[in-house]
Structure 1
Amino acid sequence: MQAPSEGISSNSGLPQMIHLDLDIKDFCTDWTHCDLMSGYIARMVSHNRLDSLLFSNLYSSALNELLEAVYRTHGSGGKLQCAVQRDGNVDRIELTFPADEETYKIYETAIAKVNGEDAETLYLEALFADAEPDASLGLLELGVDYGARLAIGRSEDGRMSLVAELVLEDDTE
């Protein structure tokens, strides 16, 4: 797999806190799977945070945006894998899923918007537009509102990784 863009490595070497594998077709049968999965994972990784309830709510919202992006834009057939890692106050979420070249290009364009200097302007324009939002809206929200660092990587087997690094808590004690 190619390393994700923007300085986030695809194999961080950190131990995994949680790893889930789901069939992408099963996951995408119901929109509520995004909320159920993000809520479950958020509760599991929030137990040792300073304010575990606040952390869980923020984490669930951020992860839900990532999962909704995959729900809307993914390739056909295969596994959706979700791996969660932590290093101090940095939480790393890596979603790996099927993606043809067109799907990968959609994410590449979205990540370029998130990492651009005008991300906040693009986010506000997309948020208040009358037209149907494109695939970048949720990812822009993560970058602008949550300060997430986002990157993508591509494997030769037709899968891609969407990586988000989040700092949702200033200090861990």
Structure 2
Amino acid sequence: MNAAAENAAFHPLLQFEMEMEAFLSNWHHCDQLSSFVARMISHNRADPARHSNFLSSALNELLEMSFRSGLPDGQLGCTVYRHGPTERVKLTFPCPSAQWQFYREAVSRTQNGSGYARYLDSILTDLAPSREVILLDLAINFDAEIRLEEQAAPSITLVVDLPLEGIVN
């Protein structure tokens, strides 16, 4: 399936934008936004509470990552789409161009076999999860497919497909 056909299969469910300066003013915005979005999106799933918990956890991790690497100038943008059992989160946030290579490499690691060993090593040795570990966690524990869309400087967009309806654990 080509990219245009794949994108057309996903239907938008919810979108929000927030000034990055306002978002960065309070760490709790990550949890508040992820909880609200998850409740809104999950109401018509087979097990809404379970789905909401999974989506809230995944979205919170993404928002925390943007919180840690975001610049105070610009906007945070998030759109959630759905296609069958999969939710697609497109998260755009200001990101210094110096960090773009980091994101390219971190996203690449989620798509190859070396990610699992890196993930295990990191969770056993790190006190706080790094941005790379967050992406690996989503790929390994949520079976997420992650890709990067580079925007005009200084923004970056993470596209994360989460097949939450199919998660067994």
Fold match (TM-score > 0.5): yes
* Residue correspondences, number: 164
Write the distance in 1 (CA, Å) between the matches of 2:158 and 2:45.
Answer: 25
Corresponding position of 1:40: 36
Q: CA offsets per residue over residues 7-34 of structure 1, 9 Å max, x none?
A: 877x923332100000112111211111
Corresponding position of 2:100: 104
* Stretches of 4+ aligned residues off by more than 4 angstroms: 130-133
1:64 to 24, 45, 60: 60
2:119 to 117, 123, 148: 123
Greater alpha carbon shift after TM alignment, 105-114 vs 142-151:
105-114
Say whether the 8 Å CA contact 1:106–1:135 is kept in structure 2.
Answer: no
Write the distance in 1 (CA, Å) between the matches of 2:98 and 2:117.
Answer: 26
* TM-score w.r.t. length of structure 2: 0.89
As a proportion of its length, which structure holds more helix? 2
Write the distance in 1 (CA, Å) between the matches of 2:96 and 2:40.
Answer: 32
CA-atom RMSD in angstroms: 2.0
Say whether the 8 Å CA contact 1:22–1:79 is kept in structure 2.
Answer: yes
Corresponding position of 1:160: 156
Corresponding position of 1:54: 50
Q: How many angstroms does 1:114 deviate by?
A: 1.4
Listed as ranges, the gaps of 5+ residues in structure 1 are 1-6
Corresponding position of 2:17: 21
Counterpart of 2:20 in structure 1: which amino acid? I
Q: CA offsets per residue over residues 106-128 of structure 1, 9 Å max, x none?
A: 21121122112121111111111
Corresponding position of 2:78: 82
Write the distance in 2 (CA, Å) between the matches of 1:166 and 1:133.
Answer: 20
Distance 1:132 1:19, change over 3 A: closer
Listed as ranges, the gaps of 5+ residues in structure 2 are none
